[in-house]
């Protein structure tokens, strides 16, 4: 879908086109293959968001299986896969097969990008629900997504499996306040809140933490699996949202070893998070159980502290240049920290940040990290797991 543009984004109105639907459409937007360009697909993501859609953006270089896992875990209404690498006839059918493997063959697949007209019948014959070649308008894509949104049932079918059932339970609970009495519930052994200002690197840090946790499990140095609940803001005008935190995680390597769910909220409305955590903790038993859950908050300001009441331990992520020492003395988010993380420690001003933190931290630990290089991540995970 990277080239499926006929309307400039500045002329695309912010208008809630989804208010009449049974629920907010959830669209997984990703690029399969070796295509390294995502400008066009980001334009589509913004247009969908501005129409009231919840867009889960999974990023570049996705495999068919990583998209299928994401669509299942995110309980999506449709997958919108984009490619420009002339691999659509190979990757499209593989994506459909992967959806069967993960228990969600019912999720329709839309494909877009540079699709030769003579190949479109072949894709549709293979099971692709719709194709959007070059020249497709943004409103056409929005309407197609609207058409894919159906009322949610209490289950995803007999072949959906435990994880698909968990994903559906989360959707029903978060969006409609509904829950199945038969759903197993147990609070995970360890719930860690990760908060901080926008751009502090929370998503990258969480991605590195779950990767390090998986490596320790593989080596026999840790037990249980980990999960992530990632919250992003929704528009106060259209109700749409761009949920892009999961693109930092290397799902091509981690596969199903973690469960990752993105959710949109307004402000600090964590109304269902405690019950969602119990659903995640109760979904599996034994070594397959999710024992550690990271809850990543919306980019937070000084007075956004409600996450503390829902987690066992709070990690506050800071970066150099956040302000002078007076900011450290103000009441708010710094008070809720159990662990301070000074991320982007390779940036100027890091020493001053650590010095000012030491004045207020008391016995609370301060860890310096460079999340993009996994620097300091093992030490941080040691503290979290202690």
pLDDT of residue 4: 44
State the Cα–Cα distance between residues 87 and 103, nearest whole angstrom: 24
Pick from 87, 46, 37: which is nearest to 63 by CA? 87
If you average pLDDT over residues 6-11, what whole number do you get?
48
- Span 346-365, pLDDT tens digits: 999 899 999 989 998 999 99
pLDDT of residue 6: 44
355: Cβ contacts below 8 Å, ≥ 6 apart: none
Q: Report strand pairing: 130-133 vs 366-368.
A: unpaired
Distances (CA, A) of 61 to 32, 54, 64, 110, 308: 5, 21, 10, 17, 36
- Span 150-200, pLDDT tens digits: 999 887 866 679 999 999 999 999 999 998 888 899 999 999 999 998 989
If you average pLDDT over residues 2-12, what whole number do you get?
49
pLDDT of residue 331: 55
What are the sequence ranges of the domains in the chain?
9-148, 190-385
State the Cα–Cα distance between residues 59 and 291, nearest whole angstrom: 27
| Of the options 3.40.50.970, 3.40.50.300, 3.50.50.60, 3.90.380.10, the CATH number for the domain spanning 190-385 | 3.40.50.300
- Span 80-94, pLDDT tens digits: 998 776 789 999 999
State the Cα–Cα distance between residues 281 and 277, nearest whole angstrom: 6
| Of the options 3.40.50.1000, 3.40.50.280, 3.50.7.10, 2.130.10.30, the CATH number for the domain spanning 9-148 | 3.40.50.280
pTM for the predicted model, two decimal places: 0.93
Torsion, Cα 180 76 229 368, to 10 degrees, reads: 170
167: Cβ contacts below 8 Å, ≥ 6 apart: 72, 73, 74, 75, 156, 261
């Amino acid at each position: 879908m990277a080239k499926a543009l006929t309307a400039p984004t500045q002329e695309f109105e912010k208008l809630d086109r989804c208010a009449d639907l049974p629920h907010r459409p959830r669209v997984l937007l990703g690029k399969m293959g070796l295509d390294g360009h995502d400008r066009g697909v980001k334009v589509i993501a913004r247009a969908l968001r501005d129409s009231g859609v919840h867009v889960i953006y999974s990023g570049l270089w996705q495999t068919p299986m990583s998209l299928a896992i994401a669509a299942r875990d995110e309980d999506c209404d449709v997958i919108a896969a984009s490619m420009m690498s002339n691999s659509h006839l190979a990757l499209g059918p593989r994506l459909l097969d992967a959806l069967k493997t993960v228990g969600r063959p019912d999720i329709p697949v839309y494909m877009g990008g540079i699709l030769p007209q003579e190949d479109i019948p072949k894709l549709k014959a293979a099971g692709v629900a719709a194709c959007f070649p070059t020249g497709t308008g943004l409103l056409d894509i929005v309407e197609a997504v609207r058409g894919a949104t159906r009322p949610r049932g209490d289950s995803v079918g007999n072949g959906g499996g435990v994880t698909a059932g968990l994903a559906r339970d989360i959707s029903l609970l978060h969006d409609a306040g509904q829950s199945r009495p038969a759903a197993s519930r147990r609070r995970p052994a360890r719930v860690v809140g990760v908060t901080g200002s926008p751009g502090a690197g929370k998503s990258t840090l969480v991605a590195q933490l779950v990767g390090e946790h998986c490596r320790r499990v593989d080596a026999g140095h840790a037990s249980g699996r980990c999960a992530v609940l990632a919250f992003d803001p929704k528009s106060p005008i259209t109700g749409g949202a761009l949920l892009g935190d999961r693109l930092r995680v290397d799902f091509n390597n981690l596969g199903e070893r973690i469960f990752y769910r993105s959710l949109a909220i307004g402000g600090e409305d964590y109304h269902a998070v405690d019950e969602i955590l119990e659903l995640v903790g109760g979904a599996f038993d034994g070594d397959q159980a999710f024992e550690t859950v990271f809850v990543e908050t919306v980019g937070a300001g000084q007075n956004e502290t409600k996450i503390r009441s829902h987690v066992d331990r709070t990690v506050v992520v800071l970066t150099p240049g956040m302000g002078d020492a007076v900011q450290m003395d103000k009441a708010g988010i710094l008070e809720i920290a159990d662990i301070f993380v000074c991320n982007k420690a390779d940036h100027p001003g890091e020493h001053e940040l650590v010095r000012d933190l030491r004045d207020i931290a008391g016995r609370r630990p301060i860890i310096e990290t460079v999340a993009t290089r996994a620097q300091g991540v093992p030490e941080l995970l040691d503290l979290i797991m202690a």
